[in-house]
Amino acid sequence: MTDDSKSTYPLDMPEPNDPPQPVTETPLPVSESPQPVAAEPRRNFLSKALAVVIGGIVTLVPFAAGLAVFTDPLRTRKKGSGNGDDDGFIKVATFDELPVGDPPQRFQVIDDRVDAWNMFPNESVGTVYLSRATEDEVLALNVTCPHVGCPVDYDTARHVFQCPCHNSSFKPTGEIDNEDSPAARGMDALEIKIKNKNEVWVKYQEFRPGTAEKIAEA
Ligand code: FES
């Protein structure tokens, strides 16, 4: 036999016709002590960043100071600060060394020589021929042949400039001496100044070889 009055629901479950039971909420456990904040990694990051910045400054400051010293002569070199005046003229000779009517004489042009990184004070930066036709008349010629750049000699017996490379010849005044000269122009005359009544100052320049036109090199 079966007992029909017996419920099929478990004892702790409400039966379908039971009134709704109030729901009791179980509070979640609350921690008694405050949770730790993740501050330590951030502090480490800032310390490392600060160390990198300080390390960079310590490295770069001496490097910059060394670079400034290394390039100082080039940075501070001003126009005319070598042997030249403000217009680029350099003292080359005096009248005492240039008797009137003498053959052209070679003189070195002494100035500071500068390349991309270095300055060499008081070196020869070029060579010129000087001659003095009258008391106040001085002629300066660049010794470089305008054909392809060999240094030109002066032949005192023939009274001409003679280039040893391809046989160009020039008059004492610098013009082309014969039609067979391969040079396309005469020797390059240079600007001069007379200072203190007997000093010959020359503006030394180099010019492009191989052209009929006289073109100053940069
Ligand atoms: S370099 Fe002088 S003649 Fe050629």
**Is it the case that residue 184 has pLDDT exceeding 90?**
yes
Q: Which residues line ligand 1 (CB under 6 A)?
A: 145, 147-150, 163, 165-166, 168, 182-183
Q: Is the Cβ–Cβ distance between 190 and 202 less than 8 Å?
A: yes
Q: Are residues 69 and 127 in the same domain?
A: no
Task: List the domain range (segments joined by +) for residue 176.
Answer: 78-203
CA 12, 16, 18, 21 torsion: positive or negative? positive
Q: Three-state DSSP class for 35?
A: coil
CA 166 to chain centre: 37
**Is it the case that residue 13 has pLDDT exceeding 60?**
no
Out of 14, 48, 76, a domain closes at 76
Higher pLDDT, 160 or 43: 160
Q: Are residues 121 and 160 in the same domain?
A: yes
Per-residue pLDDT tens digits for 186-200: 999 999 999 999 999
Q: Are residues 60 and 97 in the same domain?
A: no
Q: Are residues 95 and 181 in the same domain?
A: yes
Mean pLDDT of the chain: 82
Pocket test for ligand 1, best of 143, 144, 145 (most atoms within 8 A of CB): 145
Q: What is the mean pLDDT of residues 101-106?
A: 97
Higher pLDDT, 130 or 116: 130
Ligand 1 centroid from CA 145, angstroms: 6
What is the reported pLDDT for 190?
98
Contact residues for 210 (Cβ-Cβ < 8 A; gap 6+): 146, 147, 148, 184
Q: Are residues 139 and 92 in the same domain?
A: yes
Ligand 1 centroid from CA 168, angstroms: 6
**Is it the case that residue 4 has pLDDT exceeding 90?**
no
Atom of ligand 1 lying closest to residue 166 CA:
3
d(CA 60, CA 168): 58
ipTM of the complex: 0.99
Higher pLDDT, 43 or 169: 169
Ligand 1 centroid from CA 165, angstroms: 5
Pocket test for ligand 1, best of 143, 152, 155, 168 (most atoms within 8 A of CB): 168
What is the reported pLDDT for 18?
58
Residue 107, number of CB atoms within 10 A of its CB: 20
